[in-house]
Structure 1
Amino acid sequence: MSVYNLRLINIQIYINSAVISERQRQSLLKDSEKMSDPEPCRIKQEETEELIDVKVKEESEELSKDEEKHHVKSETESDSKIEHSVSVKTTAVKRFNCTQCGKSFVQPSHLHQHMRIHTGEKPHKCSHCDKSFSHSGHLTVHERTHTGEKPYTCTHCGKSFKCSSHLNEHMIIHTGEKTHRCGHCGKTFLRPAVLKKHLRVHTKEKPYSCSECGSSFTQQSSLRRHQQIHTAVRGFVCFECEKTFITAAELSRHQRIHTGEKPYTCTQCGKSFTQSTHLNKHIMVHTGEKPFTCTQCGKSFTQSSHLTSHMKTHGANHV
């Protein structure tokens, strides 16, 4: 077989292969048809081979450009997706800041509600009484005190509550988990709020102050009771000694002095007391609990008054 025929066969094989494009195939067929004799064919073949190399190179370059364009496009689309993803995430940024305290919020409506803490605005008014609230949810819960509605029921004992948080606190009674421990005396509590109040026994913190006389208290409820001294009418009178009281409960407790009634009895020794607080203090005698600890020497006491008296032994600066 001549070199001419061999080269022609190679061209045909290359033309029939799937590697080259249709445009390359048509161009090679056209060039091969022009071959008439071995010598011209040899020259033409060399030119054709060069032509093939050039065309393949050109097609390859064009393909590379297309791939490059596609790659750039893909990167652009990918970047666009990334930018979109970032923009979605940035929508969750707390962009609405309170100018009063610096607290941030995701939505302007949340900031608007928060601002009522600073402005004192209470647009939600109770239709049954004169009370107003900053949030509609608080009004809904309050109105249940008038309607008697208690939609949250304990599945253990059937007791019902007007809000879910009260039910959640109640459920701890059934589980019995006292997971909140005092670091000073080791006493445990069902709820963190109760532990927080208890800690003030040790820290002597009294954050609630009366604006009328300056007296301070460890609990807000104690302050409210105290403020009635300044504002409330003492309409409950003891007929034994004519002493007056703000509430019926206070009068009832006082009257036990005259009647000798002691409804609170210790289950350990049978001793009775006129008030529950007196019983609670007495029980510490049996349990050995001494929640009031001296910060100077570590000695502990069952009552705060005993600790106060003890502190005087360390000097006036420590009382």
Structure 2
Amino acid sequence: MESFMDILFYYNSCLLSTITSGLTFMSFLFIFLSLNHFDVLKNKCNLFSFLSDPMEESEESEELREVKEESEELREVKEESEELREVKEESEELSEVKEESEELREVKEESEELREVKEESEELSEVKEESEELSEVKEESEELSEVKEESEELREVKEESEELREVKEESEELREVKEESEELREVKEESEELREDTSNLKIHLIVHMKKKPYSCSVCGKSFSRLPYLHAHEKTHTGVSEYMCFECEKTFTTATSLKRHQRIHTGEKPYKCSHCDKRFSQSADLKTHERIHTGENLHVCHQCGKSLATKQSLDDHIRIHTGEKPFSCDQCGKRFSQSSHLNVHVRIHTGEKPFSCDQCGKTFITSSNLKIHLIVHMKEKPYSCSVCGKSFSLLRYLHGHEQTHTGVREYMCFECEKTFTTANSLKLHQRIHTGEKPYKCSHCDKRFSRSASLRSHERIHTGEKPYKCSHCDKRFSRSAHLKTHEMIHTGEKPHTCDQCGKSFSFKSTLKRHMKIHTVEKPLKHSLRSRMYRVNSSGPSTEPCGTPY
């Protein structure tokens, strides 16, 4: 069908071009003949005007013949012109056909384009179907990937469950082993207790037998057990293998070091079964529990006081006898108890094993630390019944109450000055004896009071622990802080009894009291009078000669 249409279109094109060229030629021929025919007719008319001439009849007949021929020719031309007109009409029809053929060509092209579009649409529909299929495949693949992930998770869960099952089996086995080990531990503890009981019994029997077969080769001291002898021999050799990393103090045994370290850590693992008191050493706990049970108490034959241990009784008897067998190697001071000597030695060494966990301040004894902690608590539960002043410790209240009663039980035999407390008397007596047991670790200066030593050492260290609560100024002494805070508060606690004037400092009050008690010197009064005269008049020379 397509080849036929192509052939028809080609034929029509050729025919139309042929007809067009023929029509053009015939048009030119018709115009030429028409012009010639016009000239012939004109000549014929001229001839008709001479018909009356008989001589010319023959010529006219010939001319008529010619005219007839020409008319025939014209008829033929007319016929040809009609034919040409028909041809022209056909050519017009052919031109229309050509236009139609062009339209058909355009339609063909459009149909071809449409066919291509159709093919493309079909291809697109196929692509769409394929894309839909691919999207379905993609969704299926995603579902499969999710299923795969779930399967992997399930596989992992399965593996974990298997591991947990194995762990469970192992834990059951371990539980059984633990139960067996606990049973074995209980058996071991029972055996150790029995062993300890038997060893303790053997050790205790040695006490009754009063045998001390192990003697020191240096001093001859005897011991009931060999470990006691070995520990004693280290005191002669001076070897201290165990050192505390907190204070660098050394010990001869690991047990002694462990016992000492509880001072720094504050550990008290031994608790009394009768009260809430705790102890760092088992021996102290046993000694304390005798107070509750009343077992094996040692009684003083002089005052009847009962003590828990024989050592405590020996220390107590020294109060009656006045014996002081323990002396300080540095200052020669003697003490009735070794614990008092140990505390005293810390003054020379500067050791302060007890530290405050709030401000970091260190102390020589735990009792001093407890007193210091009351400062942070800011509690003063003990108040004076006379003036209402409050105190943090009961002994501070007792010392204060003696200022109201006027009782001074303690007197210095050197100057007969009396004091309300024994400690005040002791500090006073150092003025007469010249004793200064507290030495500065930075220089050779010595002091009679520990507080004076602490204040002096702050000169070397630059420490200023006392901070003003109103500003950022700091001080090395609490007295200086109190004096400074009066500037902010405006407090004037010292009042004159005679004129009622108040002062911030006691020294200022004493200086003021001299105005009321001491007469002014004559020299001073004359000088002041001379000054008044000079200041009142224009003259600057003295009015008189001072005496």
The CA deviation at 1:192 is: 2.4
Aligned pairs for 1:183-194 (under 5 A) are 183-194=329-340
The CA deviation at 1:209 is: 1.0
| Residues in 1 aligned to 2:367 and 2:329: alpha-carbon distance in whole angstroms | 24
Q: Does 1:169 align with 2:327?
A: no
Q: Does 1:126 align with 2:273?
A: yes
Aligned with 2:460 (options 312, 316, 319): 316
**CA contact 2:270–2:285 (8 Å) conserved in 1:** no
| Residues in 2 aligned to 1:294 and 1:120: alpha-carbon distance in whole angstroms | 32
Question: Which secondary structure state, in structure 1, belongs to the residue aligned with residue 359 of structure 2?
Answer: coil
How has the CA–CA distance of structure 1 residues 296 and 318 changed in structure 2, closer, same or farther, with 3 Å as cutoff? Answer: farther
**CA contact 1:126–1:139 (8 Å) conserved in 2:** no
| Residues in 2 aligned to 1:150 and 1:232: alpha-carbon distance in whole angstroms | 42
**CA contact 2:356–2:373 (8 Å) conserved in 1:** yes
Q: Does 1:280 align with 2:418?
A: no
Cross-structure match for 2:371: 225
Aligned pairs, number = 210
**CA offsets 1:136-179 (integer angstroms, 9 cap, x no match):** 76445334545777820234554331322211212334554433
Question: Which secondary structure state, in structure 2, belongs to the residue aligned with residue 171 of structure 1?
Answer: helix
**CA offsets 1:30-60 (integer angstroms, 9 cap, x no match):** xxxxxxxxxxxxxxxxxxxxxxxxxxxxxxx
TM-score (norm 2): 0.32
The CA deviation at 1:198 is: 1.4
Of the structure 1 ranges 298-307 and 152-161, higher mean CA displacement relative to structure 2 is found in: 298-307
Q: Return the structure number with greater helix share.
A: 2
The CA deviation at 1:222 is: 0.8
Cross-structure match for 2:410: 264
Of the structure 1 ranges 232-241 and 202-211, higher mean CA displacement relative to structure 2 is found in: 232-241
Cross-structure match for 1:246: 392
Cross-structure match for 1:293: 439
**CA contact 2:324–2:336 (8 Å) conserved in 1:** yes
Aligned pairs for 1:29-178 (under 5 A) are 122=269, 124-127=271-274, 129-132=275-278, 138-145=284-291, 151-174=297-320, 176-178=322-324
How has the CA–CA distance of structure 1 residues 290 and 247 changed in structure 2, closer, same or farther, with 3 Å as cutoff? Answer: closer
Residue identity matched to 1:169? D
How has the CA–CA distance of structure 1 residues 144 and 201 changed in structure 2, closer, same or farther, with 3 Å as cutoff? Answer: same
Question: Which secondary structure state, in structure 2, belongs to the residue aligned with residue 211 of structure 1?
Answer: coil
| Residues in 2 aligned to 1:304 and 1:274: alpha-carbon distance in whole angstroms | 20
State the identity as a percent. Answer: 39
**CA contact 1:124–1:139 (8 Å) conserved in 2:** yes
| Residues in 2 aligned to 1:304 and 1:119: alpha-carbon distance in whole angstroms | 25
Aligned pairs for 1:201-240 (under 5 A) are 201-231=347-377, 233-240=379-386
**CA offsets 1:166-199 (integer angstroms, 9 cap, x no match):** 1121233455443332232222222222122112
Cross-structure match for 2:248: none
**CA contact 2:268–2:281 (8 Å) conserved in 1:** no
**CA contact 1:292–1:302 (8 Å) conserved in 2:** yes
Higher Cα Rg: structure 1 or 2? Answer: 2
**CA contact 1:180–1:195 (8 Å) conserved in 2:** yes
| Residues in 2 aligned to 1:297 and 1:121: alpha-carbon distance in whole angstroms | 38
| Residues in 2 aligned to 1:302 and 1:119: alpha-carbon distance in whole angstroms | 31
| Residues in 1 aligned to 2:254 and 2:401: alpha-carbon distance in whole angstroms | 54
CA RMSD of aligned residues (A): 4.2
Cross-structure match for 1:302: 448
